[in-house]
Amino acid sequence: MFGRRTLTHLPMTEKMLANRYDSTAPEALKKANKERQAYYYDVGSKERRRFNVGDTVRTRWNKEQPWDKAEVTNVLPYRSFELRGRLHA
């Protein structure tokens, strides 16, 4: 019934008692849950704009200073950049 063996008092091996879906079901549920979470996370996200060498950006080093223009001089890994500061238009 429903892929399971019926209850009995006769001795059986563990292999006969195991359901063939026992090992695959938890992994499939984890994968489906991760995919669902990724879908809902991505609904509100958007691709970040890539900065190239020569682009003008605004930056400040602490909250007491105003925003200043700077130029991207080098693109580093992990969304980091080298800037040449204080361009005045």
Q: Report pLDDT digits (tens) over 32-50.
A: 999 999 999 999 888 888 8
Percent of the chain with pLDDT over 70: 87
Question: Phi and psi at residue 86, in whole multiples of 5°?
Answer: 55, 65
Two tokens, residue 55: 């682009």
Give the separation between CA 57 and CA 76, rounded to whole angstroms.
15
pLDDT higher for 29 or 6? 29
Average pLDDT over residues 9-21: 76
Which residue reads 């499939």 in tokens? 28
Q: Strand 68-76 and strand 80-87: pairing?
A: antiparallel
Two tokens, residue 4: 């399971």
Give this prediction's pTM: 0.47
Whether the per-residue pLDDT at 64 is higher than 60: the answer is: yes
